Amino acid sequence: MASEDLDGLLAQADQFRINGEYEKAQPLYEKILSQDDSIAAAWNGLGHCQLNTGFFEESIASYEKAWQLAPDELKYGNHLGKALCMIGEYERAKQVFKEVLAKDPENQEALEQLAYFPEESDDVS
């Protein structure tokens, strides 16, 4: 499948996801990834679909893959950290938020998430 076709499919999947139509978006993300598993945005979108349909462990794996492929996309790290919190993996989540802050000390989302962990509020580096 050509790159342009994958871009169009990604845009379509993202639109379904944004509209809350996860059952329509997820197979599109999976199709994209079956053609090219190096597209971080597709892994991130798949993670959103999985998270919003109750597949928490799978979403974490997808978010991890997205962030591994695009480590400068800090939103992927924040998504991973929040998913980890949802399953009670607080220590891992704190570590992820700290990694985000190591790249961007002013990252508002990571700062807000770490604020939920009182012992971390004084030292977020």
CB 100 within 8 A of CB 87: no
Calpha distance 61→52 (Å, rounded): 14
Q: State pLDDT tens for residues 63-91.
A: 999 999 999 999 999 999 999 999 999 99
Residue 90 DSSP SS3: helix
Pairwise CA distance, residues 81 & 83, whole Å: 5
Q: Taking residues 18-37, report their average pLDDT.
A: 97
Q: Hey, what's the torsion of the CAs at 23, 63, 112, 123, to 10 degrees?
A: 160
pLDDT tens string 31-50: 999 999 999 999 999 999 99
pLDDT at 87: 93
DSSP assignment, residue 79? H
Evaluate if pTM is beyond 0.95.
Answer: no
Per-residue DSSP letter, 120 = G
120 pLDDT more than 70: no
Residue 1 scores a pLDDT above 90: no
User: Residue 110: helix, strand or coil by DSSP?
Assistant: helix
User: Residue 121: its pLDDT value, please?
Assistant: 43
Residue ranges of domains in the chain, CATH in brackets: 1-58 (1.25.40), 71-125 (no CATH)
Three-state SS for 20?
coil
